[in-house]
């Protein structure tokens, strides 16, 4: 693969998170911002959520307004997967994470490169291709202004930028759609073999998440 000489402006990571709670917390935060509070009341009943909040010195959390953290910090802190010593679980090998995080293209994003350079096989729509696009978009745009109404998930404190996420089940669907048929590489892709290389960097992270029964949070580091 011939790398693009344009400077890379960001580094991207996929962080393991709780397979189902990531969706629940995200929806609870969105609902609270829309003046619907039942979802928050439900999610704070989860023992893991209560334990994580208390471990951070937060003992009052009956309402979202009791917590001073912004939404991206809360989503990330409450759902990130930790080991028995409360250390974040790192998925994949260091070299693989580095290559995924700094893809040699103008966007710097392996996921965006795949999204922009895959095409449907044949004239008829197919489920495998649609699943691929949908779940790539979940990682790229699920938390952007178009989907949540503003950009606050992407402009958190200390530069926390959450672009999107996948639940544990969605990780499996994306991995299957990458391995399956129904799509092909664009004839005019700008980097020869680029999609193949991007998938080679992404797939081990998806496999590691699946083996750990984890979801994934996609972050951008400017």
Q: How is the chain split into domains, by residue range?
A: 11-21+82-221
CA distance 4 to 104: 6
pLDDT tens across 153-178, in order?
Answer: 998 888 899 999 999 999 999 999 99
Tell me the whole-structure pTM to 2 decimals.
Answer: 0.92
Rg of the Cα trace of the chain? 18
* Contact yes or no for 138/216 (Cβ under 8 A): no
pLDDT tens across 3-44, in order?
Answer: 544 454 689 999 999 999 999 999 999 999 999 999 999 999
When the pLDDT of each residue in the chain is averaged and rounded to a whole number, the result is: 92
């Amino acid at each position: 693969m011939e790398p693009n000489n344009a400077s890379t402006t960001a580094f991207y990571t996929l962080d393991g998170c709780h397979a189902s709670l990531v969706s629940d917390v995200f929806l609870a935060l969105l609902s609270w911002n829309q003046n619907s509070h039942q979802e928050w009341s439900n999610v704070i009943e989860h023992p893991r959520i209560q334990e994580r909040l208390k471990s951070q010195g937060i003992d009052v959390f009956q309402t979202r307004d009791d917590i001073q953290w912004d939404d991206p910090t809360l989503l990330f802190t409450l759902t990130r997967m930790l080991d028995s010593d409360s250390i974040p679980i790192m998925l994949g090998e260091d070299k693989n994470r580095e290559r995924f995080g700094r893809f040699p293209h103008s966007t710097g994003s392996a996921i965006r490169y795949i999204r922009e350079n895959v095409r449907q096989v044949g004239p008829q729509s197919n489920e495998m291709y649609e699943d691929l696009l949908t779940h790539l978009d979940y990682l790229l745009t699920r938390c952007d202004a178009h989907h949540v109404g503003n950009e606050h998930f992407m402009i958190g404190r200390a530069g926390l930028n959450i672009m999107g996420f996948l639940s544990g089940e969605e990780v499996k669907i994306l991995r299957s759609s990458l391995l399956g048929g129904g799509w092909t590489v664009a004839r005019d892709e700008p980097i020869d073999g680029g999609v193949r290389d991007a998938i080679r960097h992404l797939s081990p992270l998806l496999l590691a998440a699946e083996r750990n029964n984890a979801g994934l949070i996609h972050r951008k580091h400017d």
